[in-house]
Structure 1
Amino acid sequence: MAGKRIGDHQVGIYKKLRTRHGQEVAAAKSGISVRSARRIDASEALPSQREGRSWRTRADPFEAVWDSELVPMLAAAPGLTATTLLEEIQRRHPGQYDDALLRTLQRRVRTWSASYGKEREVYFAQAHPPGRLGLSDFTHAAVLQVTIAGAALLHLLYQFALAYSGWRYVEVVLGGESFIALSSGLQNAAWMMGGVPEEHRTDSLAAAFNNKAEHELLTRRYDALCQHYGMRPSRNNLGVSHENGSIESRQGTLKRTMEQALLLRGHRDFADLDGYRLFVAEVFGRLNGRVARKFDEERAMLMPLPDRRSSDYEEVDARVTKYCTMTVRKVLYTVPSRLVGHRLKVRVFGERLECWLGNVCVLELQRGQPDPVSGRGKVVDYRHLLPALKRKPGALARSVLRDALFPRTEYRLMWGQLKDCLPEAQACRLMVGLLDLAGNGGCEAALAQRLAVLLAAGAMPDLERLQQEMAPRPAHCPVVTVVLPTLASYDCLLEAA
């Protein structure tokens, strides 16, 4: 019967059953045919003891073309498949070779490849002693479809993992695979572990290696970072991802773990970025609990940390223009007018900028990211330009930053309504007044809700009424009159005591 060959173990089962049952019952219980049972009963030898068959049961359908045509094609191109070879033989010999012969040809090609085929890639299993190797990598997280307050979050996930214990650290990264992201994530992981491994491996990150050089050269900042922590930097060969397998395999589990956690959560929207970061930390905190014993063993073998962290920022120069703007890493930022004309030292962190004038930090800004299409970006804070706009409200009408000045959609829509219904000068004064109320009155969100109601009704805002309703009231402090007692009263108090 068709199927697997009958082995020694199956024959043993049949003979044991044959002592208690008839031939048909024993054959059925051992899963063989009655014909095979008769053959087993007639022979004392086990299947492994019989001589192999040296003759064919039917004629070889490829005998005429195997040595003369098929073998030369395989020798010239060992990567050819049986399907391709059969199609070629059918083209050369029309009507002689049917599609039903494909399985026969596949077996012949497999046997030939095992005997004469090319050498295949060999993988060597590696032993990772505790404390020797740590690995870093980035992965795109768009597949998770995470949103922040309803807006899609374009981000990466940085992952650091210890090869021995499997302990990992995961961090949300806005922007690309920059040195700042690598330095910040690696140092956060090191200080969370309480030590560093002997070797730190990445793939060919441009933030760590100069890939355009003829030889493997570390970037100056990455080399200084590894020297500061006493780690030996290394990378896998370009395009050979399995050499970085200890981290590449965990990139898949990272996304699967996040996907399962989001499904269990019920939705993928977070109120703010800090809430999403806390969620990621909780997910991988539980994941690290599974390897706690091995991590405790490896942590004892880690090298000690240095006395302080290395710098995890990049320092660039930026001059503030007369338009109260400066450009850092292709992103335009507005700044207070008091900084116009100054050249600032800007420390670019992963998510913020620190602007230094000499040894004084004069401003901190949230870092923006360039647009994927245009390659440029804007981070505009209308509060920086409010003092100048109050003096020159007419400049709002044709300002190149006008649309970016509006903090919410309701303000932009209200500007469109004011521009259509009022003279330009009056519309500018009223819009600047609304922005001043939102910024200095601390009621940006509440005012946006009121503007939405006015827009729905097609009504014009009354600035004075809105100011009376929403502007902060001056605090009225009660007048307290303090009467100091005379010194003689203390003498009377002492005498009474």
Structure 2
Amino acid sequence: MGSRVELFAQIRRDARVEGASIRELARRHQVARKTVRKALSSPVPPERKTPVRSSPRLDPYKPTIDAMLVEDTTAPRKQRHTARRILARLIEEHGADELSYSTVRDYVRVRRAQIDVEAGRRVEVFVPQEHAPGAEAEVDFGEVWIVLDGVKTKCHMFIFRLSHSGKAIHRIYPTQAQEAFLEGHVEAFNEIGGVPVKHIRYDNLTSAVRAVVFGQGRNRLENDRWVLFRSFYGFDAFYCQPGLAGAHEKCGVEGEVGWFRRNRLTPMPVARSLDELNDWIRSREVQDDQRRIDGRIRTIGQDFAAERPFLAPLPADEFDPGLVLNPRVDRSSMITVRMVKYSVPARFIGRRVRVSLRASEVVVFDGRAVAARHQRIIAKGGQSVQLDHYLEVLKTKPGALPGSTALARARESGAFTSAHDAFWSASRRVNGDAAGTRELIDVLLLHRSMEAEDIEAGITAALGVGAVSADVVAVEGRRHASSIPAGGSRPDRHRGAHAEAKVQRVVSLTQRRLMDPAAVIAGLPPDKRPLPAISAYDELLAKRTEHSAGTASKENIS
């Protein structure tokens, strides 16, 4: 069409500017004079007529084929005629051996669509909708690939999108099981600071729906835990029609899945953990607040600010989205959850513990108190071991520490630092292997009540004065903690004054006596007192001996 429009424009220009005749214009542009007359009469080229191809062999059977297709409009979906079945019936019932499959197929493809429209089956009008502020939201999952700790890994992205403002929350989980489904809701509700007052739209996700009740509209058989969750937060669920028929009913969140994946997760993001990746996604969501959707005048953030007051308030308590399990602790102080082993404190060996399996972490409870917390492991057969869970056992078996899996994992994670290694080496050199290792374990036990930064500072200070004692580390660690203001890091305004001030350090005299004289602790004044004399005590002993002898002689005389 574009080239014909240009041709007509050139013909009309030559006729207008040069006054060329129809014959001359036809010769110049190499077209028929009939085409020149059409160009001069109208600048819009006429549409080309598509010739109607005749099919003389098929014509006698078209009414029969139409009848089969009309019958299909009321037949079950899986028992409708295919083009191959129609051809087979025409051959069997009408002797149409001369027909080819391609001829029947082409006719059925066009005619079936026309008959469906005539029957009202394919005519579906989408009526634009207005979503009241704070009333509705949509939820969906989307697959994403990430490079997790150096390994290309398939994960699942949970998306929660408010229908009015378009404000969306995205979280990456290793699974789309119910614990991820519920945890995503909790994250979204906390992030937006409320709950939609009308309903949230869903597909027929197995995390929420046990079965689709066909023939009863949008009724669904829901999971008991999902019903409890909805009741806790006080919202209703709106279930879309199954399959493609319901795709348009939550097109906002489905479009959000594709947009975020293309614009924020391409190329594949690289992260050491899912927590790190989700923290990065939160920063991208803040940027998305400045985006405008479909040419709207206001940004997502501006619309959300106006929508937020209309949301229902959050409950006072928080729902635990985890799946509750009760595994038994084995002799290695480990529990098995979904084919992955996690360590727990050794005091639970042989007991069953309550575990909350969440999308991103595994939490072990002792009554209401948290006994252990692990990042959830994705790979089956993996394990997560924490050194702290074995300290009481290692106190009685210090020789098991150097080759333990718990120590290796602590080194890999950075929890066991070079400062710990330096203290351990110094302690074994002074106290021996067993006693020195026990002293290190006492230092590791301090992590339960003190910050790691303070303990590391305490170790550095203790080693600086030659004291390899957990008590010295504790005192110096608390001194370091008290020097930092409650609001943040150590102030730098009087750095020089702190450097010049003489700070008294805790010194272990026992360690000083055991050290080589050439390695006397710097800053400790020399001991110039004379050595103690015992001559006076010897005189007392002599007098006591004389007194005892005189008493004995008197007794003999009597």
Partner of 2:383: 378
Q: 2-side partners of 1:223 and 1:29: how far apart?
A: 79
Q: Which residue of 1 aligns with 2:257?
A: 251
After superposing the two structures, state which structure 1 stretch, 295-304 or 225-234, moved more.
Answer: 295-304
* Aligned residues of 1:168 and 1:288 also touching (Cα < 8 A): no
Give the superposition deviation at 1:387: 5.9
Give the drift of 1:251.
1.5
Q: 2: distance between equivalents of 1:28 and 1:201?
A: 66
Query: What residue identity is the alignment partner of 2:59?
Result: D
Shift, 1:10, TM fit: 10
Shift of 1:323: 3.9
The corresponding residue for 2:373 is 365
- Offset of residue 328 of structure 1: 3.6
In 2, are the aligned partners of 1:318 and 1:327 still within 8 Å (CA)? yes
1:61-76 to structure 2, matched below 5 A, reads: 61-62=54-55, 64-69=56-61, 72-73=64-65, 76=68
**What is the DSSP-based 3-state SS (H/G/I as helix, E as strand, rest coil) of the residue aligned with 1:190?**
helix
Structure 1 residue aligned with 2:140: 137
Letter in 2 for 1:127: Q
Shift of 1:161: 0.7
**1:461-476 → structure 2 map (5 Å cutoff):** 473-474=468-469
Deviation (angstroms), 1:210 = 1.9
With 188-197 and 212-221 compared, the bigger mean Cα shift is at 212-221
Among 460, 477, 495, the residue aligned to 2:506: 477
String of CA shifts for 1:327-357, please: whole Å, max 9, x gaps: 3444332222222244433333333333333
Once the two structures are superposed, the pairs formed by residues 394-405 of structure 1 within 5 Å of their partners are: none
Deviation at 1:208, TM superposition (A): 1.6
Q: Alpha carbons of 1:350 and 1:23: their partners in 2 closer, same or farther (altered >3 Å)?
A: same
Equivalent position of 1:278 in the other structure? 279
Maintained 8 Å contact 1:139/1:156: yes
Alignment of 1:288-437 (within 5 A): 288-290=289-291, 291-361=300-370, 363-369=371-377, 371=379, 377-381=382-386, 384-385=389-390, 388=393, 407=409
* Shift in CA distance, 436/16, structure 1 to aligned 2, threshold 3 Å: farther
User: Equivalents in 2 of 1:322, 1:57: separation in Å?
Assistant: 84
**Cα shift readout 1:4-34 (whole Å, capped 9, x = no counterpart):** 9999x99899779755532458789999754
Answering whether residue 42 of structure 2 is matched by residue 36 of structure 1, we say no
Amino acid at match of 2:383: K
8 A Cα contact 2:159 2:168, kept in partner: yes
- Residue ranges of structure 1 left out of the alignment (5+ in a row): 411-431, 443-467, 482-497
How do residues 46-195 of structure 1 correspond to structure 2 at under 5 angstroms? 61-62=54-55, 64-69=56-61, 72-73=64-65, 76=68, 92-93=97-98, 112-113=111-112, 115-116=114-115, 119-120=121-122, 122=124, 124-130=126-132, 131-142=134-145, 145-148=146-149, 150-174=150-174, 176-195=175-194
C-alpha spacing 1:13/1:303, structure 2 compared with 1 (3 Å) = farther
Query: Do the aligned partners of residues 298 and 31 (structure 1) sit closer, same or farther apart at CA in structure 2, a change above 3 Å counting?
Result: farther
The answer on whether the counterparts of 1:386 and 1:436 sit within 8 Å (CA) in structure 2 is no
Distance 1:111 1:35, change over 3 A: farther
SS of the residue corresponding to residue 281 of structure 1 reads: helix
Aligned 8 A contact 2:209 2:220 in 1 = yes
CA-CA distance at 1:392 after TM superposition: 7.1
- Partner residue in 2 for 1:22: 20
User: CA-to-partner distance for each residue in 1:364-411, whole Å, 9 max, x for gaps?
Assistant: 220434645xxx553334654576578679999xx9xx989853999x
SS of structure 2 residue aligned to 1:134: strand
- Identify if the C-alpha distance between structure 1 residues 238 and 392 changes in structure 2 by more than 3 Å, giving closer, same or farther: farther
State the one-letter code of the partner of 2:264: M
Cα 1:354–1:57 change in 2 (3 A) is closer
Q: In the superposition, relative to structure 1, how do residues 66 and 409 fare at CA in structure 2: closer, same or farther (>3 Å)?
A: farther
Inter-CA distance 329–23: structure 2 relative to 1 (3 Å threshold): same
Matching residue of 1:418: none
Separation of aligned partners in 2, 1:133 and 1:236:
14
Q: Note if contact 1:343-1:357 (Cα within 8 Å) is conserved in structure 2.
A: no
Shift of 1:249: 2.3
What is the match of residue 484 of structure 1? none
CA–CA separation in structure 2 for the residues paired with 1:32 and 1:286: 58
1:460 maps to: none
Equivalent-residue separation in structure 2 for 1:209 and 1:28 (angstroms): 74
- Work out which of the two has the higher radius of gyration on C-alpha atoms and give 1 or 2: 2
Summarize deviations over 1:17-62 as a string: whole Å, max 9, x none.
7555324587899997543224677x89x999xxx99xx989x652
8 A Cα contact 1:312 1:349, kept in partner: yes
3-state SS of paired residue (2:137): strand
Structure 1 residue 306, shift from structure 2 partner: 3.3
* CA deviation map 1:59-110 (0-9, x unaligned): x652x2122246644653698679x98xx99x9559xx9x9xx8xx96x777
Q: What TM-score do you get using the length of structure 2 for normalisation?
A: 0.55
Quote the residue 1:231 is aligned against. Answer: 235
Q: Is the 8 A contact 1:371 1:377 kept in 2?
A: yes
Q: Name the aligned partner's letter for residue 380 of structure 1.
A: V
Q: CA RMSD in A?
A: 5.3
Amino acid of the structure 2 residue aligned with 1:132: A
TM-score (norm 1): 0.61
Letter in 2 for 1:67: D
AA paired with 2:126?
A: F
Once residues 356 and 286 of structure 2 are traced to their aligned partners in structure 1, the CA distance between those partners, rounded to angstroms, is: 31
Would the aligned equivalents of 1:180 and 1:314 in 2 still touch at CA under 8 Å?
yes
Specify whether residues 13 and 194 from structure 1 end up closer, same or farther in structure 2 by C-alpha distance, changes over 3 A only: farther
8 Å contact 2:178–2:207 — kept in the other structure? yes
